[in-house]
Amino acid sequence: MHWTEYLPPLMQGAWVTIQLTFYSTLLGGLLAFAAGIGKISSNWAIKGVSVAYIEVFRGTSLLVQLFWLYFALPIAGMAIGLDLRLPPVVAGVLALSLNIGAYGAEVVRGAIQSVHKDQHEAARALNFTPRQTLWTITIPQAIPEMMPSFGNLAVQNLKDTALVSLISLGDLTFRAEQIRNFTQDSTTIYSMLLVTYFGMALVLTAIMRGLEAYVSRWRVARS
Amino acid sequence: MTDEPIIKFDKVIKRFGDLTVLNELDFEVKKGEKVSIIGPSGSGKSTVLRILMTLEGINGGVVTVNGEPLWHEKGPDGTLKPASEAHLHKMRAQLGMVFQQFNLFPHMTVLRNITEAPVKVLGLSKQEARQRAEELLELVGLADQAQKYPHQLSGGQQQRVGIARALAMRPNILLFDEPTSALDPELVGEVLNVIGKLAHEHDLTMLLVTHEMRFAREISDRVCFFDQGRIREEGAPEELFTDPSEERTREFLQAVLDS
């Protein structure tokens, strides 16, 4: 088999990887905001849930989380009479998002807390409620601070998607394994795999930089 | 100007840890009065403004604004209990503040800095808020800068936006916390001009903490000299600046005017 013949199945897998990365980064970002804001909430219940979520998912392996959602949850569900079987793609996106969300939550929290106290005082003097202050003053200023870390997390997430091949999801790594099993051409296949992931990471980094520039545009406006 | 006090400090105590910043301060401001507060740093002058703006709580005494306690609420039995956030929110509507470091919102244009609170807090329509902002920008001489971001403006321009932003909430009382201290000397004048114009043309009650003695003398109905958490001396600007009765005031004025 010529190496060009590996391309169509690999591209199919790459498309799955792109989708996984896209959805899990998006959902992970939402979770990061929810838990990051929750962690600095004055409501102890919200704070408790956020802290527990962050610590559990940062403190355990992504692979184990993935296996737990895919293999253990259905059995646990059965024990209480619920059908909790998840399609591989759902289990994959869920595990990846929950994981990146836990790391992202710390980024969100840190960025929000880095906004200067002067800004809170100005908001208070203008009689904004704490909620209005958070959403109109603090978070818009915190988002540009978060972006470099979010960029790293997104790339990390792209690379982590390789793990979902272990629950038989047809991503890039899964396809590569299939071809390798068939052809035993490990060097070519794994080299192509490296190059493809690297290319996707470059594109993703560029996208995140663009996003960063977009949310920070007020910082660089020229006079 | 009427004789009714709009602001009243009654034996107010404020401590930061072991440090007593306000030591049983008694202080009154009448409606429409322009009062300057001068004094050495650490004398508690800014703290007076920060307490009024509800940025700092108090440790004793009662602060009254427009006849209602600021940091307390009257319970059903008439006794005073610490104010709830809802009470503070209601009281704060009467006050506005101009900060030493301007504290503009860097991610918003000049226009949005001024319209955001009137829309979100007062419930004005975007149209009304915009019109109000444009009038105020005209007043502070920045009508052509509405679409810029704060960092594109000079310090003096930023502070004038700060004044417009505070005025957009239509407060009865405007607090100026060393509004020109962070400015380059050549930019002080443009800000003082705006404050002077407000003082002469509006019946706002104004409280100004400043080191600009000549300006304080020009615009104030009364000047208070703060020292060690109390008012050491107060009076009409001509008297206090030309013939202070306290030795401490004399020393301070000498030191400031010499520098």
To the nearest whole Å, the CA of B51 is away from the closest chain A CA by 11
CA distances, A216 to each of A17, A45, A121, A142, B47 (Å): 29, 33, 23, 10, 35
CATH for A46: 1.10.3720.10
Residue A116 is assigned to a structural domain of this protein: yes
Q: Please report the pLDDT score of residue A14 as a whole number.
A: 93
What is the C-alpha separation between A63 and B230, in angstroms, rounded? 66
What single-letter DSSP state applies at residue B84? P
Question: Which residue of chain A comes nearest to B122, CA vs CA?
Answer: A127
Range of the domain at A150: 16-169
Domain tally, chain A: 1
Which pTM was predicted?
A: 0.87
Of the two residues A222 and A94, the one the predictor is more confident about is: A94
Q: Does B112 touch chain A (CB under 8 A)?
A: no
Residue A196 is assigned to a structural domain of this protein: no
Residue A184 is assigned to a structural domain of this protein: no
Residue A48 is assigned to a structural domain of this protein: yes
What is the C-alpha separation between A141 and A40, in angstroms, rounded? 17
For residue A221, list chain B residues with Cβ-Cβ distance below 8 A. Answer: 148-149, 151-152
Q: Does residue A221 carry a pLDDT above 80?
A: no
What is the C-alpha separation between A213 and A147, in angstroms, rounded? 9
Nearest CB to B120: which of A136, A140, A218? Answer: A136
To the nearest whole Å, the CA of A199 is away from the closest chain B CA by 34
Q: Does residue B203 carry a pLDDT above 90?
A: no
A73: Cα within 13 Å, side-chain hemisphere: 17
Kindly report, residue by residue over B154-202, the tens digit of the pLDDT.
999 999 999 999 999 999 999 999 999 999 988 999 999 999 998 888 8
What single-letter DSSP state applies at residue B143? G
Kindly report, residue by residue over A145-172, the tens digit of the pLDDT.
999 999 999 999 999 999 999 998 889 9
* Token reading at B246: 């306290």
Q: Does A128 touch chain B (CB under 8 A)?
A: yes
Residue A190 is assigned to a structural domain of this protein: no
Enter the ipTM.
Answer: 0.92
Residues 53-72, chain B: which have Cβ within 8 Å of A?
53-55
> pLDDT band at residue B259, thresholds of 50, 70 and 90?
low
Residue A25 is assigned to a structural domain of this protein: yes
Q: What is the mean pLDDT of residues A30-58?
A: 96
Dihedral over alpha carbons B136, B137, B141, B144 (to 10 degrees): -160
For residue A119, list chain B residues with Cβ-Cβ distance below 8 A. Answer: 103, 105
Residue A89 is assigned to a structural domain of this protein: yes
Question: Which residue of chain A comes nearest to B148, CA vs CA?
Answer: A223
Tokens 């020292």, located at residue: B227
Question: How many beta-carbon contacts under 8 Å exist across A and B?
Answer: 66
Please state, for a pLDDT cut of 90, what percent of chain B lies above it.
Answer: 78
User: In B107-220, where does DSSP find H-type helix?
Assistant: 110-120, 126-139, 155-167, 185-201, 213-219
Q: Does B165 touch chain A (CB under 8 A)?
A: yes
Residue A195 is assigned to a structural domain of this protein: no
